[in-house]
Copies of this chain bind each other. A is one copy, B any other.
């Protein structure tokens, strides 16, 4: 034998590897707006305008793109209500809801350590 514990791809190369599926998912979440959008849906469905207001600074174009991408990856559903004026609601899927927990951890940690960060020149 090698005497070395073999690198376990499911624990080590899950995210570093260029071709590992986890890496693609990581890169989806790791985005200026994606995580914020998912978190904004934590308390239930939200309309386009609500999200737009909550994610301060997002432009409609970018918000649309962000939501579409989340939809494409199965994290969010988009429901159009046949009314006038139009009403569109975005909601988390089970998968999307699952993402809430790790995201909350991150947020909690940030909140707890905000003061310790260097302002960065």
Q: A residues bordering B, Cβ < 8 Å? A: 10-11, 14-18, 21-22, 25-27, 29-32, 35-36, 39-40, 54-57, 69, 72-74, 95, 98-99, 101-103, 105-111, 113-114, 116-118, 120-121
Question: Which chain B residues border A14 with CB–CB below 8 Å?
Answer: 107, 110-111, 114
Q: Which residue of B lies closest to A121 (CB)?
A: B72
Question: Which chain B residues border A36 with CB–CB below 8 Å?
Answer: 15-16, 26
A110 touches B22 (CB 8 A): yes
Contacts A22-B111, A29-B30, A30-B30 known; 20 new A-B pairs at CB < 8 A: A11-B111, A14-B107, A14-B114, A15-B107, A16-B36, A16-B40, A22-B114, A25-B114, A25-B117, A26-B106, A29-B106, A30-B32, A69-B120, A73-B117, A73-B118, A74-B116, A74-B118, A98-B113, A102-B102, A105-B105
